[in-house]
Amino acid sequence: MACEKIWLITEDGRPLALSRAKDGVYREHVTVKQVFVQRRHAVDLDDQERIEPVAPYHFKGRPILILLMGIAIGIVAGGLMDIEPVISAIVVATFALSTLAFQGGAASEYKMLRLTGQQGQTCIVVAEEDIDDLARQHARVFVTGEAPSPLALTESEKNQVDLQRYGLVTTLSALTLIALGAPLRRIVNGDADVVSSIFTPMVALVALIMAYTGVVKIAMRYVRNRRVTDDESAEREKVPPS
C-alpha cells in the first residue's frame, strides 16, 4: 500500500501536509491560499537521489492541551482559596495533565526523512508505518540502518527525566487533594449535596492513589538512577588513560 500522506518541512520550519496524487507526486491541497499565491508545494520521491531517515519527529501540542492546563491551574487555585471546585473539571484536568506527564517518554510515531536531489536537500515527515513501504518502493535510493544519535539521552539522563515527570504527577495529585479539602470538610459536616457527597470522595481517592503511585515511582527511579550512575562511573574507571 502506497504512502498516501507526508508532511513537508517548509522554509519556516512548519510541517505542511502533502497528499499523493494519481501520478505519484505529493502535492499540497488547494485552499484559499492559492487565490493569493498561485503555486503550491510538491515533492516527487522518484526524482530523489537519496532518501535517509534522520530522526524521530514529534508534532507540536494542540491548543486544547494548553487550555486544559489553564483549567487545571484555575481549579487548583480556586480550591486553595476555599472556592467550590467543579468536580468534573478536576477529573478532566487531573487525568489530562497526568496522561501528558506519564506518556512523555512514549516513542514517536513519525520519522523525519532527508531527501537529496537536484533541487538540494529537503526534509519530510512520514508516519512510521509507511517507512517500510517507502523503503521498498524506493529501494535504490533509500538508506537503511540508523546510527545512534549523539543528541540522544543517556540512560542516566532518561532516569532524571522520569524523576521530573513523576514528580510533576505527584505534585498535581497533591494539589488536587488540597483543592478538595474544603468540599471534603463540607461532606463531613453534612453540608454537601448528594452528588458532591458521592463524587468528591471518589476523586480524592483517585488523586491519592496517583500521588502514592508517583511517590513509589520516584523512589524506584531514584534507586535505578543511582545504580546506573555507579555503573557508568565504574566503566569510566576501567578505561585506561590515553
What letter would DSSP give residue 24?
S
Task: Please tell me whether residues 9 and 35 are part of one structural domain.
Answer: yes
C-alpha torsion angle, residues 55, 64, 195, 206 (rounded to 10): 20
* Predicted TM-score (pTM) above 0.75: no
- Per residue in 202-228, pLDDT (tens digit) is 877 877 887 888 888 888 877 877 776
Has residue 206 been placed in a domain? yes
Task: Please tell me whether residues 130 and 157 are part of one structural domain.
Answer: no
Task: Please tell me whether residues 32 and 97 are part of one structural domain.
Answer: no
77-88: b or e for each residue (b if 16 or more CB lie within 10 Å)? Answer: ebbeeeeebebe
Has residue 142 been placed in a domain? no
Domain containing 50 — which CATH number? 2.30.29.30
- Per residue in 130-155, pLDDT (tens digit) is 888 888 888 889 987 654 555 566 66
Question: Can you read off the three cell numbers belonging to residue 242?
Answer: 590515553
Does position 170 have pLDDT exceeding 60, yes or no?
yes
Which domain, by its residues, includes 69? 63-105+151-236
167-206: b or e for each residue (b if 16 or more CB lie within 10 Å)? Answer: bbbbebbbbbbebbebbbebbeeeebeeebeeebeebbeb
Task: Please tell me whether residues 126 and 180 are part of one structural domain.
Answer: no
